[in-house]
Structure 1
Amino acid sequence: MNQTGTVVDRVVTDRGELVLRQCGGHFEIISNGVFLMDTRAGASERLLVREALHLVRPGARMLIGGLGVGFSLAEAAASPTPGEIVVLEIEETLVEWHRRRLAPFSGSALHDPRVRVVNEDLLDWLRRTDDVFDAICLDVDNGPDWTVFPGNATLYDEAGTGLLRDRLAGGGVLAVWSASAAPGYAARLEAMIGSVTTHLVDVPRGEPDVVYLARRPLTPAACPAP
């Protein structure tokens, strides 16, 4: 993270301080003094969505957990495959940044008629909704073992994984971004959802980014009535 950038916005939310900082032509997002993400790369976030879309039908319903700097949403909106893209983002401020300064990085996708933004906590929303999706893409933390807020850990335990599974259609895919390998989580996905594939994306420094994809089996066809 570049420490010489210029703060262009600073907002205090229910979860603490959220800062948008500009460094040259790029932006950084900092939460409570901790660097979260920037607009310099995005290869693994785009792969998260691209690989999920390879496994679903045209007209698919897609849920993206976490707006971030917009790479995932931009990749989804650039594809003709999704018929609907629901974005869950808890920080209203972040959504507003994407209507202005960050719009180029999300491909101005907030104007796409297929896109609907829900300004809520993802876990709370999952517990209430009956919506079912063909693809769910999660990029709300730095991974299952490195969450932005302690409460987010529930999203990756058995209860949270069960919630996500129940929101997947038969044959649907859950794609999860992580800044490092999480073999225990991959095993949970395999046990609770279905077959798992792992994609590694090299980064300039440190461990590769990791994308896990778990596919729920197709629902067996109902037997005809006698």
Structure 2
Amino acid sequence: MSLVCEYKKCRRSGLFPVFLAGGLLAAAVPAMNMFFRSELYLHRPQTPLTILLEANWQMMGMLNLFLVLAGASVLYHMEFADRAFLRMETLPQSMFGMFIRKYLVLVSVILMAFALEAASLAGVSICWFGMTEGMWNELGRQMGCLLVKMLPALALMLAVSSASENLWITLGVGVTGIFAALILSGAGRQNHILQLFPFLLPLETAWTDGRLLLAAGAETAAILAAGQGYLCIRRRFR
């Protein structure tokens, strides 16, 4: 099946409206924060985008993680419904190919949410701080880095969803991971090992540490490879 078919299957799942609403909610965070507490941020020495991300990204990142959790759960739950996944395993097609297509669908919808959030950050920055030199380049760089840090959690949640027919197990794993990341967020800034926790990486705000980006890429590749191995073993012993 093609990527277009995956998008068609998602049309009735509510995936796109949920990510649109979630992206708008996350985009409203910096605007509301500046509207009610602008005096706390206007005189800081950092660049406007750095100020906004440090003040708002943990909440925005957490909302993005909940979107990823919901999206990953829905994408495979609709395959397990009425035992459709078992019938698909009998067909001459790659289960890992389907996994990658679902991964690309999830990346595309989180990109939609990120685009709304980037537009909000740009608008808030211009409204309260004025247009600054290099703002667009900084915005693109920061949002790109934050997206890369989101990819391990996205791959992990989709792998968990593909391994569990029970929707509540996927939701439980995801919620546990998100709250564990919130608990560890303070210690993670001093501990380089904790920083690599897939649910903690997306909450790292404006820091564009190249080592973290490389680690995020390596984690994503490792999780996708583990997903491929699991799906191959699962199909062999069915």
TM-score normalized with structure 1 length: 0.29
More helix by share: 2
Scaled by the length of structure 2, the TM-score of the pair is 0.28
More relative contact order, 1 or 2 (CA 8 Å, 6+ apart): 2
Larger Rg: 2
In terms of fraction of residues, the more strand-rich structure is: 1
